[in-house]
Structure formats: structure tokens, C-alpha cells
Amino acid sequence: MDFAILADAFNKMESTRKRLELTQYLVELFEKTPQEVIARIVYLLQGKLRPDFEGVELGVAEKLAIRAISKSSGIPIKKIEEEYRIGGDLGHAASVILEQKTQTTFLVEDITVERVYETLFKIAKLEGARSQDMKMKYISSLLNDANPLEASFILKILLGTLRLGVAENTVMDALAIAFSGNKENRKVLEHAYNVSSDLGKVAETISEKGIEGVEKFEVILFNPVRPMLADRVKSQEESVERLGNNFAAEYKLDGERVQLHVEGDKVVLYSRSLENISSYYPDIIEKIPKSIQADNAILEAEAVAINENTGEFLPFQELMHRRRKYKIEKAVTQYPITVNFFDILFCNDKSCLDLSYKERREKLEKIVKEDEYAKHIPMAIVNNENDVEEFLENSINAGSEGLMLKMLDKPYQAGSRGSYWLKLKREYQNELGDSLDLVVIGGFFGKGRRTGSYGTLLLATYDEDVDMFTSICKVGTGFSDEDLDQLYQILQPKVTIKKNPRIESEMEADVWFEPELVIEVVASEITLSPIHKAARDQVRKDAGLALRFPKFTGKIRTEKMAEDASTNEEVISLYKGQKKVAHDKSLI
Ligand code: AMP
């Protein structure tokens, strides 16, 4: 196929941003395209050579392109740079320069889409010492035979500056119209694209076998599936409104999403954007096969950096130290992780996408054997706002970002942000200005490496009116290893068999303490709580106040008596102050 046809279509597309017109130009182009080249055309339209997950990168630098233009036109580099500065687009600059040249030379041969594509592919694959020279030779040989318009598009593809404004959806609309005569068939194409992540392959199939061929697309091992995404909710109330009274809540861990394709000892890892990230995680490749009890599987997990001593989840930034090309072995030991599985998309040669969440979770738990390294993401079935709030608190205390809420009876919707998954994240917008001194009333045993300490503490305010200690929050973040040791030493002798009658708490702790020790915490916000007892009924009937996302500041206030702790009155005034700030802000 003549490259001129493609250059002409690109040229028309560049001149409009109207979706209908773009679709029309695409339909006309596809109708002229032979079956054998349509996949290549679809990749080129998107400025690519292959689907993203194959990692074929063009990566040509401007300097090199300028040298190639100079070589093929005989015009000095300085002049080309000048032209480039005027227009700001090297593709355009090349067409202006070559316009001057074509007046004096003959075109040697017509260039075809196949030839351009093969040459670009060779350029992308070149590596090593002499690769720059070779790349330049390839580019200038193409430019020699290209007319100015063709040259400008070849350069734009090479430099990654082709901006046709065609979204994947527009390409699919045009494919549906061109090859099935019906735009409605886009849905079928979308499904095929979502399970294969390869729009070129979808185009080739519809052009060769029609829409029936596309209907047969299925999940394939070692070919990534486009991930399902979640919508956002702002509160527990909204979650229940949208999901009803029986759904799953999972910890939303703050790591990297990894799609694992496993068969025997072979493991390939894809990122959320479908990049092959296997080389960053040699530990996953080595350790995971023994945890998978199936012949083959595609699984989704969150890889999370952990503190090896406490087992605590660490923020995403820690994990980014893994993103390096060299000395990866060192990074593996320096930044240990756990792999926390949350979904299964394929198992024993069969797709699991159409199974309900509940069925997939059951399968996942059966197939992934847990150990120190491979985990099932913590999950609870929740029925109301209180359940969500309690699980949210637990998750934040464990160092996670919030919750993912999932409908139990829904399938896996590859590639779409639907309403079957919702994310409830912590927000730090309303940072509480003040710290609070709170009484430690209960403790929860640490999990994993935190055994032998209290991983999480239950805290209370002092209610002067009735001389009671009222629960206000659980706290599990902000503790260093030394803090945990020290607190254990101090709290151990204060353990009581029965809850002290001066403690008011609906939440059950693993152990109760004499209400004596005071520690300092900060929090993002004070919220109404159906569970906690601080200032119960004083701001709103049947609600107490609670701290949202509390964090230990590192200060154990041994100089304070429990009765010196922050009082409910203080907390109410902080709560009202915070409302006033929000109100004042909305007036500005
Ligand atoms: P966001 O990036 O805020 O849109 O949140 C979605 C991301 O949360 C996913 O891409 C995953 O990387 C991550 N994540 C953490 N925990 C879960 C979970 N339990 N289920 C699904 N995604 C999760």
C-alpha cells in the first residue's frame, strides 16, 4: 500500500478535531487498506509499532533526526534548526526543507506503508554502540525517497509527536462501520480490545473474518487484559447508597498493581498501563510459582513495600526504588515487598471474567496458597455504614490508603471504570490543626512481625461531667519499632481481665488496660461516628465523635495523668471550629 495514501489521510485528520469527521476519514482509509497491512496502520495511527505490552519503543532523539534530514537534503544542520525554531515542529520543518530539495532531484521509488513500517521497526530494535549511525542511515534513506508530506509524518512517528487526536473509541467506531456497516458493533470490538489489549489484532480480525471473528476473542495467557477500574465515593453513606447492604470491602493498598501471568515456572508481570515490568520484580518471578495451585492462571495483585521488621505496609514511593535497570538484586533486598492478591482472571485454560466477584474470590483463595510473601488482600463482607467505617479504620491503621468496595454478584469488567467497584480513600484536606492527648484504654495484638507488641491501640478522651473515658479512635500508624517495644513494656502491667467500669467503648479490644497512660496523636479530621463514645449525643443524637486517620506523634506523655487528657468539651469545640473553617472557606 502506498504510504502516500496514509500520509494524505493523516494530513486530513490533523486538520480537524471533530469526531464525526475523524471517523469518516478513518472509514475511508480502512476501506482502502488491504487486510495484511491494517494492523500496522492501526498501530501507526496511534504513533506505535506494536501493542504497548510488547514494549517496542521508537525513541529517536531530535538531534539525530536533524542530522538525518541534513544528510538526505544536503542542507546544513544550522538551517534546519532555524526552520524548526520558527515552526516548533520538526516534521513540518522537514517538509519545508525537502520542498526545496525536490525541485532539484528525482524521487527514486515510491515508498510503501510496508517499507516505512519495516524500517521503523528495525530502528526500534537497534541497540549498542553503532546503533545511532545505523538509525541515521535508515532515517535518511526513507527521507530520500519520501515526498515532503510523507517525510513530515515519518518524522512525527519517529519523534513521537504525531497527534491525530484519534481516541481508541474512534478507531473502533470506524472499524465497525467500515467492516460491518454498523456502528453498534463497537461494543463487540471493545470487548475484544479489553481482553486482548491489542487494537491492531482486533482490526486484522474484523477485516479478515468479520464481526463473527471478533466475537470469538478470549483471554489468552501471556497477553495482558485491560484492567478493571473503580469509581470514587466520598463517604461511607455514599458507598451504602450505591452498593446496598451486602458487599465486599477490601483494603486498598498503596503499591503497584501487577497482573501476573503464570504457567509452571514461567511468570510474566504487567503493570496497570500494560507495560511488561517483569524485570523489576525478580523476587516475584522466583517465589510466586510455588504459591499457585493451578496449571496456569492470570491473577491481579498489589505489590507493596513493607517494613521487614514490623510487617507494616509502606507507601508507594518506597516501591519506586525498584524502578531501575541496574543493581536490581540490591533493590530487591533493600526494599522488600509482599504480593497481595485481589482477583483472578483466568485459571486452568479458562477465562474467569464472567464469574461473579464472590466466585472469583473463592477461586483466588483456593488457588493462591498464602505464605510470608504471597497474601490474599484482607477482605470483609459489609452490610452497613458502621461496618464500612470499622473496616476503613482497620485498613488505615494497617497502613493502607482506604478501601475498595466491590459488588458480590458482578463479573470482572475488563478495561472499564464502572460502578461495580468503588474506592473510598482517605483525604487529608481537612487537617486538624491541633494534636490531642488521649488515654490508652485497649490494645490489639500485632499481626505478622508485629506479634509480641500491640500493633494498634484503642484511645479515649476524658469526660469530665461523668468522670469516664470515652473511646474516640483506634491508632496503628506513626509507631517506630522502638515505640512499639516501649509501649509494650509500659502497657503490659496495666492489662486487666475485665474492662475498667470507667471506660465507655462499644468497640471490643483484644486486651483492656487500666486507663492511665496518655499519648499524643494528630488526625486529619473529627467526624461523627456511630461507633465511638466521645461526646455521644452531644452534637447529634445517636452519634459520637471520632478521629479520622489518627497518627501517633511519637510522644508518650508520661508526665500526664489520665484525667489531664483532652476532654470531650475540647473535642466538640475542635469539631465545631473545623465546621466553621469549612463554612468560612465556602464563603470566600
Ligand atoms: P486509583 O489508582 O486511586 O484509581 O485506585 C485503583 C488502584 O488501587 C488499582 O489500580 C490498584 O493498583 C490499587 N488497589 C489497591 N488495593 C486494591 C484492591 N483491593 N482491589 C483493586 N485495586 C486495588
Does any domain span residue 220? Answer: no
| Whether 334 contacts 324, CB under 8 Å | no
Residue nearest to atom 9 of ligand 1 (CA): 257
Report residue 430's pLDDT band, with 50, 70 and 90 as the boundaries: very low
Q: Are 444 and 328 in a shared domain?
A: no
Ligand 1 pocket check: which of 404, 412, 424 to mutate, most ligand atoms within 8 Å of Cβ? 404
How far is ligand 1, taken at its centre, from the CA of residue 253, in Å? 7
Does any domain span residue 574? Answer: yes
Report residue 403's pLDDT band, with 50, 70 and 90 as the boundaries: very high
Residue 354, pLDDT above cutoff 90: yes
Q: Are 418 and 442 in a shared domain?
A: no
Q: Are 397 and 254 in a shared domain?
A: yes
Q: Are 272 and 388 in a shared domain?
A: yes
SS3 459: strand
- Reading the block at residue 167, the C-alpha cell is 481516541
How far is ligand 1, taken at its centre, from the CA of residue 278, in Å? 19
Does any domain span residue 26? Answer: no
H-helix or E-strand spanning residue 572: helix 568-587
> What confidence score (pLDDT) does residue 288 get?
97
Q: Are 576 and 535 in a shared domain?
A: yes
Q: Are 374 and 483 in a shared domain?
A: no
Q: What is the CATH number of the domain that holds 500?
A: 2.40.50.140
Range(s) of the domain holding residue 327: 229-429
Give the whole-angstrom CA distance, residue 190 versus residue 35: 20
Give the whole-angstrom CA distance, residue 23 versus residue 45: 13
How far is ligand 1, taken at its centre, from the CA of residue 285, in Å? 21
Report residue 17's pLDDT band, with 50, 70 and 90 as the boundaries: confident
Residue nearest to atom 12 of ligand 1 (CA): 257
Q: Which atom of ligand 1 is nearest to the CA of 425?
A: 3
**Which of 39, 58, 67 has its CA nearest to residue 171?**
39
SS3 445: strand
Does any domain span residue 43? Answer: no
Report residue 461's pLDDT band, with 50, 70 and 90 as the boundaries: very high
| Contacts (Cβ under 8 Å, ≥6 apart) of 584 | none
Domain boundary among 159, 190, 214: 159
Residue 582, pLDDT above cutoff 90: no
Q: Are 238 and 387 in a shared domain?
A: yes
Q: Which atom of ligand 1 is nearest to the CA of 406?
A: 20
| Contacts (Cβ under 8 Å, ≥6 apart) of 301 | 257, 258, 260, 339, 340, 341, 342, 377
Q: What is the CATH number of the domain that holds 308?
A: 3.30.470.30
Does any domain span residue 190? Answer: no
Residue nearest to atom 17 of ligand 1 (CA): 252
Ligand 1 pocket check: which of 258, 302, 427 to mutate, most ligand atoms within 8 Å of Cβ? 302
How far is ligand 1, taken at its centre, from the CA of residue 421, in Å? 10
Catalytic annotation present for 252? yes
Average pLDDT, stretch 226-252? 92
Report residue 409's pLDDT band, with 50, 70 and 90 as the boundaries: very high
Residue 234, pLDDT above cutoff 60: yes
How far is ligand 1, taken at its centre, from the CA of residue 422, in Å? 10
| Whether 408 contacts 379, CB under 8 Å | no
Report residue 89's pLDDT band, with 50, 70 and 90 as the boundaries: confident
> What confidence score (pLDDT) does residue 235 get?
84
Maximum CA pair distance of the chain?
Answer: 100
Q: 467's torsion region: left (phi>0), alpha (psi -120 to 50) or beta? A: left
Residue nearest to atom 7 of ligand 1 (CA): 257
Half-sphere exposure of residue 408, counting CA atoms within 13 Å on the CB side? 13
Residue 107, pLDDT above cutoff 60: no
Which listed residue (135, 156, 201, 252) is catalytic? Answer: 252
Give the whole-angstrom CA distance, residue 228 versus residue 412: 7
Q: Are 395 and 259 in a shared domain?
A: yes
Does any domain span residue 327? Answer: yes
**Which of 54, 86, 492, 527 has its CA nearest to residue 270?**
54
Q: Are 467 and 365 in a shared domain?
A: no
Domain boundary among 365, 396, 429: 429
Sign of the CA dihedral running 558, 560, 566, 568: positive
What is the distance of C-alpha 206 from the center of its chain?
Answer: 31
Give the whole-angstrom CA distance, residue 296 versus residue 29: 41
| Sequential DSSP letters for 260-315 | EEEETTEEEEE-TT--B-GGG-HHHHHHGGGGB-SSEEEEEEEEEEB-TTT--B--
* Of the listed ranges 125-129, 223-227, 389-393, the one predicted with least confidence: 125-129
Does any domain span residue 263? Answer: yes
How far is ligand 1, taken at its centre, from the CA of residue 270, in Å? 15
What is the per-residue pLDDT across 304-334, written as a single tens digit (0 to 9) for each?
A: 999 888 888 887 777 877 877 778 888 899 8
Ligand 1 pocket check: which of 253, 339, 375, 421 to mutate, most ligand atoms within 8 Å of Cβ? 253
Q: Are 376 and 402 in a shared domain?
A: yes
Give the whole-angstrom CA distance, residue 252 versus residue 185: 36
Q: Are 516 and 470 in a shared domain?
A: yes
Q: Which atom of ligand 1 is nearest to the CA of 252?
A: 16
| Contacts (Cβ under 8 Å, ≥6 apart) of 514 | 494, 496, 500
What is the per-residue pLDDT across 509-559, written as a single tens digit (0 to 9) for each?
A: 999 999 999 999 988 889 999 999 999 999 999 999 999 889 998 888 876
H-helix or E-strand spanning residue 513: strand 511-513
Does any domain span residue 11? Answer: no
How far is ligand 1, taken at its centre, from the CA of residue 315, in Å? 13
Residue nearest to atom 8 of ligand 1 (CA): 252
What domain count does the chain have? 3
**Which of 517, 504, 519 has its CA nearest to residue 550?**
519
Q: Which residues line ligand 1 (CB under 6 A)?
A: 230, 250, 252-253, 257, 272, 302, 342, 377, 404, 423
Q: Are 234 and 353 in a shared domain?
A: yes
Residue nearest to atom 18 of ligand 1 (CA): 252
| Sequential DSSP letters for 311-366 | --B--HHHHGGG--SS-HHHHHHHS-EEEEEEEEEEETTEE-TTS-HHHHHHHHHH
Q: What is the CATH number of the domain that holds 101?
A: 1.10.3260.10
Domain boundary among 367, 396, 429: 429
In degrees and rounded to multiples of 5, residue 147 shows phi and psi of -80, 170
pLDDT greater at residue 575 or residue 546: 546
